Amino acid sequence: MVAASARDLALEALRRTLAQRAGAVPDARAVAEATLSIWDQVAYRLAPVIGARGVDALFSRSLHLTSAAFPWLAVVGEQGHRDAQLASLKARLAGRETDAATAAASALLATFSELLVTLIGESLTGRLLDPVWAVPPTAFKRETTS
């Protein structure tokens, strides 16, 4: 019996989280929505620690690295504004088969987590991101200021 690597375990946890958040009968569009919901939570939790630009830079780098395995994720031309990048990611995920969208989204989030570990360490990454992977989307209440 071969032991699973840490990356394999992380990918499996991310797939479970995506499946839970995408609903009982997920399609690629639901996976895309769940991915952006997770990403919003990740960005919200990390921005106070590494700044919005730091989050955006890690996201762009993660997208670039993940596109080696999923070439259809590659950003063509200028990367542009974060909202445009996320809208493009959502459209690309939604336009794929459900399994491909899930695999790509899981890989992207795992790559992001790995890069974050190299920046702030495993312990702090876990404290910041573990709640995102565990909390159902309806339980996440983002406080806003008016």
Q: What element of type H or E holds 138?
A: none
Q: Within a 10 A sphere around the Cβ of 15, how many other Cβ atoms?
A: 17
Q: Which tens digit of pLDDT belongs to each residue from 31-90?
A: 999 999 999 999 999 999 999 999 999 999 999 999 999 999 987 655 567 788 888 899
Q: What is the pLDDT of residues 13-24, one digit of tens each?
A: 777 777 787 777
Distance CA(20)–CA(25), nearest Å, equals: 10
Q: Distance (Å, rounded) from C-alpha 103 to C-alpha 18?
A: 10
Q: Domains of the chain: which residue ranges?
A: 26-134
Nearest CA to 17 out of 105, 83, 97 is that of: 105
d(CA 131, CA 45): 10
Residue 92: strand, helix, or coil: helix
